[in-house]
Amino acid sequence: MEQVTIKNDFISLSVLDYGAIIQKLLVKDKEGKELNLVVGLENPKSYLDDHKCLGACVGRYAGRISNGGFQIEGNTYNLYTQNGVHLHGGKQGFAQKYWKFDAIEHREQPFVKLTRQSPHMEEGYPGNLKASVTYKLIDNSLQIIHEAITDRTTILNLTNHSYFCLDSTNSIDHYQLQLQCPEILETDNSLLPTGKLVSVKDTQYDFLTRKEIGKIRLDTAYVVSDSAKKVAELYSPVSGMRMTVESNQPAVIVYTPPEFGAICFETQNYPDAPNILSFPSAILHPGETYINKAVFTFDLVT
């Protein structure tokens, strides 16, 4: 297992070839001490036993798919399911695969690019897929770009699955959260979308105005406002650290795990889009390039 660290004056980022995992994201707090803003494991080999996708690239399809598969061009493709749900790419998705360090730059605007060839019918998905993820440091921002091409029509939905913690309290109750997301996807008991979009107004899911998270816990697909440049903003009054999230994707899955105090912002397409025609298309054709771009910016608010 290989590890690469890139850094600039603001951020130090450590990445593993296994799962294209973000292992550490170090930013200085208001006292000048380095604060790791992601939940990670100190020993890289420990990730082999991780089932929470800590910091990993998730695919081929991030999120849930229903009906045991999907159809493309009249062909049915069956996927691995548990309790009727296909999750995060299957039994062994991209988060449990080794990637290849393809390019590394340590000088101006440091970056690391990882690539992976996913063969036709891996985990039941059609097409030989060439995927890449690039982590780039631009001043006090981390830019994450997922790209992919295929040799036959397929579906695709990649995202990064980092769990962010903006201080060392191991709690998110005091965090202040704002989401430029006026609607969420209605889901059933298996967290599969019903196809209906629901307004967040006057519900616990309403973070259109910044408010304290408190005891609210989320595993929720938010619909990003069409006009929103900034998808999310998270702030810890303890550390003074603020994180903003920008994305070119139509949704963000906001997830707060029950086991520890952290929060995920999975910028991506809608869950189960391959099976719900009213959702944005998840189809990737030969000759097209899939691009999922997200920017995470960190600064101190005094």
- Express each pLDDT in 198-211 by its tens digit: 999 999 999 999 99
Residue 173 to residues 102, 234, 237: CA-CA distances in angstroms?
Answer: 40, 12, 11
Note the pLDDT of residue 207.
98
Which pTM value belongs to this model? 0.96
Q: What is the pLDDT of residues 126-174, one digit of tens each?
A: 999 999 999 999 999 999 999 999 999 999 999 999 999 999 999 999 9
Note the pLDDT of residue 226.
85
Cβ-based neighbour number of residue 230 at 10 Å = 16
How do 141-150 and 129-138 pair as beta strands? antiparallel
Cα Rg, the chain, nearest whole Å: 18
| β-strand partners of 198 | 184
CB 156 within 8 A of CB 123: no
CB 125 within 8 A of CB 142: no
Residues with pLDDT less than 70, the chain:
none
Question: DSSP states of the chain as a string?
Answer: --EEEEE-SSEEEEEESBTT-EEEEEEE-TTS-EEE-B---SSGGGGGG--S-TTEEE-SB-SEE-TTEEEETTEEEE---BTTBEETTSTT-GGGSB-EEEEEE-SSS-EEEEEEEE-TTGGG--S-EEEEEEEEEETTEEEEEEEEEESS-EE-B-EEE-EE-SSSSS--TT-EEEE--SEEEEE-TTS-EEEEEEE-TTSTT--SS-EE-TT---EEEEEPPTT-SEEEEEE-TTT-EEEEEEESSSEEEEE--SSSS-EEEEEESPTTGGG-TTSPP-EE-TT--EEEEEEEEEEE--
Note the pLDDT of residue 135.
98
Note the pLDDT of residue 291.
98
Q: How far apart are CA 18 and CA 15, in angstroms?
A: 9
Residue 274: give the domain boundaries: 3-300
How many domains does the chain fold into? Answer: 1
Note the pLDDT of residue 302.
74
CATH number where 30 lies: 2.70.98.10
* Two tokens, residue 13: 């980022």
Residue 121 to residues 125, 150, 153: CA-CA distances in angstroms?
Answer: 5, 12, 12
* Two tokens, residue 194: 């019903």
Our CA angle for 160, 165, 167, nearest 5°, is: 155
Note the pLDDT of residue 198.
98
Question: Locate tokens 């025609």: which residue?
Answer: 277
Q: How far apart are CA 81 and CA 251, in angstroms?
A: 23
Note the pLDDT of residue 32.
83
Note the pLDDT of residue 30.
79
